[in-house]
Structure 1
Amino acid sequence: MDNQTASLPLMLKQLKLGTMVKQWEALGKKAVKEQWSPQTYLSELCHIELATRDDKRLQRLLKDAKLPVGKNLGNFDYSLVDGVSKHQVADLVHQTGWLKSGANVLLFGASGLGKTHIASGIGYGLVEQGYKVKFIAASAIVQQLQQAKQHLRLQDELLKLDKYSLLIVDDVGYVRKTEQETSVLFELIAHRYERHSMIITSNKSFEQWDELFDDSTMTIAAIDRLVHHATIIHCEGESYRRKMAISNGT
């Protein structure tokens, strides 16, 4: 290292270009050997820095999303479930206008039909595009919001969730029918209405949602808000999990 470049690592560090700090010298030797122009060398160095940053950001988004491990669209077998197509789900991943308008995706069907897998797969696809996603069981988020309400900070908790373009609420059908639980679930739905998107999975159809909400007026209001801008998917057939087990020979 000559005198002219002695301070370069410090300057790169000060500029928060951590990958360049590690790579500039080795890449410089390669550039000299292969007779790159200064512009090519600088371009390649910037490319490596940006690629590393993108990868780190993706890892942060995935960690925060808490999506179920392994439940991505690459290993979902659409032939085992009726009512949903690969093309329909791919559109939800790649045509993201619905996220910008705060629209919802509602996945209905009996237990074991792959609703959670589809919802999670959409989540993975959107995280890879840089969207902030959060996956959480309905019972867990209801408990979280209930505790916040008891401490008079429900609004603060709802506002924290606004940072997520997509909130995946899994297994709404298992929420217990109590006034405390259903009221905070309604608050969540009302708060995100036409602002931020949700994917909701449920083993109960809308006709059975009076089993979730203690008040029929609240039930109707919740459904109205969810379906106003929504893609509704009804998964049908035998258990996806059982069919997968059979096809894998287990």
Structure 2
Amino acid sequence: MNTQTLEQMKQLRLHGMIRAFSSSLSPQSVDYTNDELIAYLIQSEWDDRQNRKVERLTKTARFRYSAVMENIDYTHDRNIDRNQIQRFATCDFITQKDNILITGSTGAGKSYMASAIGHQACSLGFKTLYFNTSKLFTMLKTSKADGSYLKQVNKIEKQDLLILDDFGLKGLDNINRHSLMEIIEDRHGKKSTIIASQLPVEAWHEIIGEQTIADAILDRLVHTAHRIDIKGESMRKKLKNK
């Protein structure tokens, strides 16, 4: 009877339930009542599906760093508000369609922080994509050549959270400028975006170029944005010294 039940669970792809039921058959297992056993099996299947969903979302996001919120450095000279970051951990900013702009010098920990927030978003079930901005624009240019541009832009638009890292390392040409405008316009008021940059937000206008488009992009980004300006010496230098 138990063998048949396990086989049926396998065919139904109830992987969490299989492990829980097999465990319940062990002589060392808890002596469950009927209702307790049903609750145990269902909870195990629920947990298994949630864990696989988080793994799938995290893999799809393609993060640069395996980062967690708990490891963010709140040293007093870094100008990071612990309460603000902990509020981001709830991901309410995503449900409210807000943006986050993270600025700071090279090695300050911008990418790590952005990735940590992204990992947290995945753990709460939000679809997330991480991009190095330069590589994103290269990919979009290539997609225009092979005809997959609209598919790529639509995929980006559907993400609950988009992370653009290393923004502003070089000025945007006309093609990249219009691609960025399209992405930001599609997401404005609908989805959340995190941008990490070495340059202060005040310098982004020059990086984007073409005043009219720059004004339109920044108006959509900054208006609903939480700002983080990380100070202090390079975290890479700190780690090396340690």
* TM superposition score normalised by structure 2: 0.88
Aligned residue type for 2:78: D
2 CA distance for matches of 1:61 and 1:136? 15
State the SS of the aligned residue for 1:245: helix
- In structure 2, the residue matched to 1:75 is 71
Name the amino acid aligned to 1:227: V
Distance verdict in 2 for CA 1:178–1:22, change over 3 Å: same
Give ranges in structure 1 of 5+ residues lacking alignment.
Answer: none
Change (3 A) 1:18 1:243: closer
User: Residue deviations 1:164-198, cap 9 Å, x none?
Assistant: 21111001111443112222122211111111111
CA deviations on 1:77-110 (whole Å, 9 max, x unpaired) are 221653322211111111x332123210001122
| Alignment equivalent of 1:162, drawn from 131, 140, 157 | 157
| % same residue | 26
Check conservation: 2:68, 2:119, Cα contact below 8 A.
yes
Indicate conservation of the 8 Å contact 2:15/2:48, yes or no.
Answer: no
Give the distance between the partners of 2:157 and 2:178, measured in 1 at CA: 19
- Structure 2: which 5+ residue stretches go unaligned? none
| Comparing 16-25 and 41-50, the one that deviates more | 16-25
Measure how far apart 1:156 and its partner are: 2.5
Q: What residue is the counterpart of 2:103 in the other structure? A: 108
In structure 2, the residue corresponding to 1:212 is in which secondary structure?
A: helix
Give distance in 1, aligned partners of 2:147 and 2:61: 26
Inter-CA distance 145–228: structure 2 relative to 1 (3 Å threshold): same
Q: Is the 8 A contact 2:66 2:115 kept in 1?
A: no
Write out aligned runs for 1:131-142 (5 A).
131-142=126-137
Q: CA deviation at 1:23?
A: 4.3
- 1:214 is displaced (CA, Å) by 3.3
What CA distance in whole angstroms lies between the structure 1 residues aligned with 2:145 and 2:157?
Answer: 20
Q: Which moved more, 1:72-81 or 1:139-148?
A: 72-81
Q: CA RMSD in A?
A: 2.3
Instruction: Give secondary structure in 2 for the equivalent of 1:237.
Output: coil
Higher Rg of the two aligned structures = 1
Q: How far apart in 2 are the matches of 1:141 and 1:216?
A: 22
Q: Give distance in 1, aligned partners of 2:140 and 2:229.
A: 28
Matches within 5 A, 1:1-250: 4-5=1-2, 7-30=4-27, 34-79=30-75, 81-94=77-90, 96-246=91-241, 248=242
Retained in 2: the 8 A contact 1:72–1:121?
yes
Give the superposition deviation at 1:144: 1.7
Q: Which moved more, 1:170-179 or 1:144-153?
A: 144-153
Return the letter of the residue paired with 2:190.
R
Contact 2:74–2:82 (Cα < 8 Å) also in 1: yes
Q: TM-score, normalised by structure 1?
A: 0.86
Do the aligned partners of residues 46 and 148 (structure 1) sit closer, same or farther apart at CA in structure 2, a change above 3 Å counting? same
Q: How far off is 1:22 after superposition?
A: 4.5
Matching residue's letter, 1:83: N
Q: Which moved more, 1:62-71 or 1:189-198?
A: 62-71
Tell me if the contact between 1:173 and 1:203 (Cα under 8 Å) persists in the aligned partners. Answer: yes
Do 2:77 and 2:232's aligned partners in 1 also have CA atoms closer than 8 Å?
Answer: yes
